[in-house]
Amino acid sequence: MRLFFGLQLSQQSSLSIDHWRTTSLPPLTHPVPLVNFHITLTFLGNLDQRRLGQLAEAADEIVSQPFMLTLDELGFWNKPGILWLGCKEASPILLTLTTKTKHSANQLGFATEKRSYQPHVTLARRCESPPPAPIIPSGFTQEFQNFALYESVSTRSRVRYNIINEWSLG
Residue range 89-142, pLDDT digits in tens: 999 999 999 999 999 999 999 888 888 999 999 999 999 999 888 888 889 999
> Order of strands across the sheet with 73-77?
73-77, 82-86, 120-124
Tens digit of pLDDT for each residue in 50-95?
899 999 999 999 999 999 999 999 999 998 999 999 999 999 999 9
**38: Cα separation from own chain's centroid:** 4
Residues in CB range of 33: below 8 A, 6 or more apart: 158
What is the rounded distance in angstroms from the CA atom of residue 61 to the CA atom of residue 82? 33
| Section 13-42 average pLDDT | 96
Residues in CB range of 7: below 8 A, 6 or more apart: 38, 39, 41, 69, 144, 146, 147, 148
- The residue type found at 104 is S
Class of the CATH domain delimited by 2-150+159-168:
alpha beta
pLDDT of 148 above 90: yes
The H-or-E segment that residue 83 falls in is strand 82-86
Q: Kindly name the residue from 19, 30, 38, 103 that is annotated as catalytic.
A: 38
Task: Give whichever of 2-16, 103-117, 129-143, 152-166 has the largest mean pLDDT.
Answer: 2-16
Residues in CB range of 139: below 8 A, 6 or more apart: 70, 71, 72
| pLDDT in the model for residue 157 | 81
120 is catalytic: yes
pLDDT of 12 above 90: yes
Q: Euclidean distance between the first and final Cα of the chain, in Å?
A: 28
| pLDDT in the model for residue 66 | 98
| Cβ atoms < 10 Å from Cβ of 25 | 20
Contact call for residues 150 and 163 (beta carbons, < 8 A): yes
What is the rounded distance in angstroms from the CA atom of residue 52 to the CA atom of residue 54? 5
| Section 5-28 average pLDDT | 96
| pLDDT in the model for residue 115 | 86
| Section 19-34 average pLDDT | 94
pTM over 0.85: yes
30 is catalytic: no
What are the DSSP calls for 86-126, one per residue? E-SS--HHHHHHHHHHHHHHHHTT-----SPP--EEEEESS
Q: What are the residue boundaries of the structural domains of the chain, listed by start?
A: 2-150+159-168
